[in-house]
A = this chain, B = another copy of it.
């Protein structure tokens, strides 16, 4: 059975993430969305919330599992038996950092294959950070995120954010 991991902070999951996950789920027998417990940046949703929002968003995709992890992503991949790691590439994302991480991960675990899917055109500009910024300022972001995320974001914003 082919198992792949799609790791990230998912703070929160966007329609861009969901599109990558949906497409990746067709390429592998099982896709595990790995939610990084302690990302190196301030987060809006805690780990439990982020797991919950991803789970609700992929509820109709039977071969996707959702799990939080801490430590090195290559170690988590080994633990769950994933031979492949999935990343979404946006034209305007930090390709440099992506490359550095890819080479570092290759060094830490040469057996884990990295597979990059290109974001679809309508999600090229969509990042979680920009999304949170827009939402916090009152922007309507409803069609950029799964419905459960839209609800959760709107609650956070009302509670001052």
Query: Which residues in A have some Cβ–Cβ distance to B below 8 Å?
Result: 2, 23, 26-27, 40, 70-72, 74-75, 83-84, 89, 91-97, 99-104, 106-108, 113-118, 120-122, 124-127, 130, 133-134, 137-140, 144
Work out how many copies of this chain go into the complex.
6
Chain B residues in 8 Å Cβ range of A124: 91, 103, 121, 124
Residue from the list B91, B116, B138, B144 in contact with A92, Cβ < 8 A: B91
Contact A104 B117 (CB under 8 A): no
Chain B residues in 8 Å Cβ range of A103: 118, 121, 124-125
Contact A134 B91 (CB under 8 A): no
- 16 additional contacts, CB 8 Å, given A27-B115, A116-B118? A26-B83, A27-B27, A27-B113, A40-B133, A91-B92, A91-B124, A92-B97, A92-B100, A93-B96, A99-B118, A103-B118, A106-B120, A107-B144, A113-B117, A114-B117, A124-B124
A73 to chain B, nearest CB (A): 9
* Cα separation A50 to B30 with both chains bound (whole Å): 37
* Cα separation A124 to B99 with both chains bound (whole Å): 10
